[in-house]
Amino acid sequence: MITHAPAAAELLATGLRHDRAGSIAAAIDAYAAAIEAADGAEPAAASDALRRLARLHHLRAEGDAARALAGRAAAVAAGAGLPLLAAAALNALGEFALAAGDLAEARERFESALELGGADPAVAGRVDRNIGLLHHVRGEWPEAAAHYRRAAALASRHGDASAQARAGHRLATLAAEQGQWEEAHRELRRAIGIALREGDAHLEARCLLDQARLHAALERWTEARDGAERALRTFERLEARRDQSAAHRVLGVIFRETRRPALAESRLRSAVEIAVSARCPLNEAEARRELAELCWRQGRPTDALVELDTACRLFGRVGARADVAEVERRIDRARGALRGA
């Protein structure tokens, strides 16, 4: 009996199923096999597999590999006259630059993606969501909300449930930062429901972590800890390094606020260490700010000032102006305490 090797498109579909289910090793193998099977004859499958494989390396904080693969995806698509796939790869490169704190490169990549594929609602929605995140990091909330809502509307109009959930997740984080708890809970419940239906383990865990942050803000400590620990377990299974840092930070805050300082410091230092190793300046800045607050409450203003100075520099690097201003106020407080000592 003669058997035929699976075509690149079939291997790509297998990779996507494993990817959504959180079977990362199997997804990586399937995407790599799809790239090999394409062998220049199936450029669409090759470009798509390269981009998706790049995202998995990005998830694992393997930045150099992620950028190289996404660059190949863009080149393959451009060479084959596939502008939408080229735009998708450029959008991925923009996301990687944004995570690394290079906002100028991120914007350039997003604008190039729009030039190539902005007429397509799927591409436009993904890029809109990312441009919204650029504004979000800078504290430009009305602009961020406008982009997130446009991305959600595009996804809804064209029946893309997963993209709609991701835009909703971003709207939820924005609402939470403005103290709009009910709206944030509503968006997160909707996003979690979609993530469960779509089998998207990573999105579900990210929503669970943000739900934990909401519970913590409302002093629902048991629910907050349970949600953060569930999210962390998923991030560890998915080898999602940046998200692990965020989960340790949330758990550190929960332990700090429930008067368990040793556990709080351990979690917050883990958050810093992972963020440093993953080259994620925004996560590092947020973790150091929370660690500084713990040091301050323990009567350690010198330690607090060290963490705040580093956090301020990192927030400045990523253009988070509102965070810089807030941390500078804390620095003034810490310096005043030292002068008065």
Q: What is the dihedral of CA 53, 58, 63, 69, to 10 degrees?
A: 20
- DSSP assigned state of 140: -
How far, in Å, CA of 57 to CA of 47, rounded? 15
Q: How far is CA 238 from the centre of its chain?
A: 13
How far, in Å, CA of 42 to CA of 30, rounded? 15
Would you list the domain boundaries of the chain? Answer: 1-119, 120-195, 200-279, 285-341
pLDDT the model gives residue 286: 97
Q: Which residue has the higher pLDDT, 283 or 157?
A: 283
With cut-offs at 50, 70 and 90, classify the pLDDT of residue 337: confident
Helix, strand, coil in percent for the chain, rounding step 5:
85, 0, 15
294, 265 Cβ separation under 8 angstroms = yes
With cut-offs at 50, 70 and 90, classify the pLDDT of residue 341: low
87, 113 Cβ separation under 8 angstroms = yes
Closest CA to 59 of 28, 84, 87, 29: 28
Write the single-letter amino acid at 222: T
Q: What is the pLDDT of residues 280-320, one digit of tens each?
A: 999 999 999 999 999 999 999 999 999 999 999 999 999 89
pLDDT the model gives residue 6: 66
Tell me how far CA of residue 67 lies from CA of 52, 73, 96, 154, 316, in angstroms.
Answer: 12, 10, 7, 27, 24
Helix ranges, 80-160 (H): 83-99, 103-117, 121-137, 141-157
CATH class of domain segment(s) 1-119:
mainly alpha
- DSSP assigned state of 7: P
How would CATH label the architecture of 120-195? Alpha Horseshoe (1.25)
- DSSP assigned state of 4: -
Give the three-class secondary structure for 78.
helix
pLDDT the model gives residue 3: 37
Q: What is the pLDDT of residues 180-212, one digit of tens each?
A: 999 999 999 999 999 999 888 999 999 999 999
The mean per-residue pLDDT over the stretch 63-84 comes to 96
The token pair at 91 is: 């959008």
pLDDT the model gives residue 149: 95
- Which CATH number applies to 200-279: 1.25.40.10, 1.10.3470.10, 3.40.140.10, 1.10.260.30? 1.25.40.10
Q: What is the pLDDT of residues 120-138, one digit of tens each?
A: 998 999 999 999 999 999 8
How far, in Å, CA of 241 to CA of 271, rounded? 10
- Is the pLDDT at 2 greater than 70, yes or no? no
The mean per-residue pLDDT over the stretch 246-254 comes to 98
The mean per-residue pLDDT over the stretch 214-231 comes to 96
With cut-offs at 50, 70 and 90, classify the pLDDT of residue 4: very low
The token pair at 145 is: 């909300």
Contacts of 320 (CB under 8 A, 6+ apart): 137, 138, 139, 282, 285
How far, in Å, CA of 94 to CA of 319, rounded? 16
Mean residue pLDDT of the chain comes to 93
- Is the pLDDT at 1 greater than 50, yes or no? no
Q: How far is CA 50 from the centre of its chain?
A: 20
Count CA within 13 A, CB hemisphere, residue 10: 5
How far, in Å, CA of 291 to CA of 221, rounded? 19
CA angle, 241 then 280 then 63, to 5°: 70
pLDDT the model gives residue 334: 86
- Is the pLDDT at 140 greater than 70, yes or no? yes
202, 59 Cβ separation under 8 angstroms = yes
